Structure 1
């Protein structure tokens, strides 16, 4: 089942497992309101919802997460969204992150090269399959621009 796949990432030699996708309505509204009262809980909630199986929900909570001064542990949730095929989400990531110092994201990418390399390969496949006809130049493709300007430079 897709929801059971895990993405493993490291931070200072610790391994974290992140659910790859969550069901659309994970928390009832009343619980969400309680969780949003505390900044760390809010950040956790937003990260969880970036893994929703609904792209609109992923985008909504990504925007909320990117409004915060997010912690290092939230970076895998943002990076994971960058390897998906939804260009609108990639544009949100690029627009919000291009104005901040992304040394923390670059550090995460360097610490997790295998994951990032797989992500880059997936990105090329998505471009070839879904976007090549709209954007024939791979060098202008938003995912490539995002990866190179924010994550690898």
Structure 2
């Protein structure tokens, strides 16, 4: 993998740290990163792959790096093809007060692995709401797409576990409003919009 792939994922002020991360970890893979999505942070375009195919054992080397370099590594590996790796990595950035972590967190809401979505919802109070608001203001189309995916994945995979409820009928269990990604969107909308 070329260093440009990683550099394009993060704001340019992190270039020196990205170079250190790139030299510390082995990003070789038989498969190229795939389906990138574009977002902006402080009017700078970022291009983040939907999936990467790197050896997750490289993450052990992050302990030798600075906290910001570790965060870069965890954010990048939150795009990993293995959902367990994505979850493990995204959990490492919930308490990081940096704008550049937000697209990595928000993107995972629009995916189907409910364990990841639950971990994001549980960490909602640790994620800087002003950074989320700034991200949404700068990327309304992307946020709308994530919003649509949340409801699509609920409909495809979780409709039976979190059913719609009928008017004037008290639900006997979880409903669509209890689906973690929908709860997080409602949390965002009530706290940032």
Q: Shorter-chain TM-score: what band?
A: 0.7 to 0.9
The 5-angstrom pairing of residues 1-150 of structure 1 reads: 3-25=33-55, 28=58, 31-34=61-64, 37-66=65-94, 68-137=95-164, 138-150=176-188
Higher relative contact order (CA 8 A, sep 6+): 1
Q: CA deviation at 1:12?
A: 2.1
Deviation at 1:30, TM superposition (A): 6.4
Alpha-carbon displacement from aligned partner over 1:29-57 (angstroms, at most 9, x marks no partner): 664343xx211110100101100000000
Task: Count matched residues.
Answer: 150
In 1, Cα distance between the equivalents of 2:79 and 2:85?
9
Provide the TM-score with structure 1 as the length reference. Answer: 0.86
5+ long unaligned stretches in structure 1: none
- Quote the RMSD (CA, aligned, Å): 2.1
TM-score (norm 2): 0.70
Runs (5+) with no aligned partner, structure 2:
1-30, 165-175
Three-state SS of the structure 2 residue aligned to 1:8 is strand
Could you tell me whether the CA contact under 8 Å between 2:33 and 2:49 is conserved in 1? yes
Answer with 1 or 2: which has the greater Rg.
Answer: 2
Deviation at 1:141, TM superposition (A): 1.9
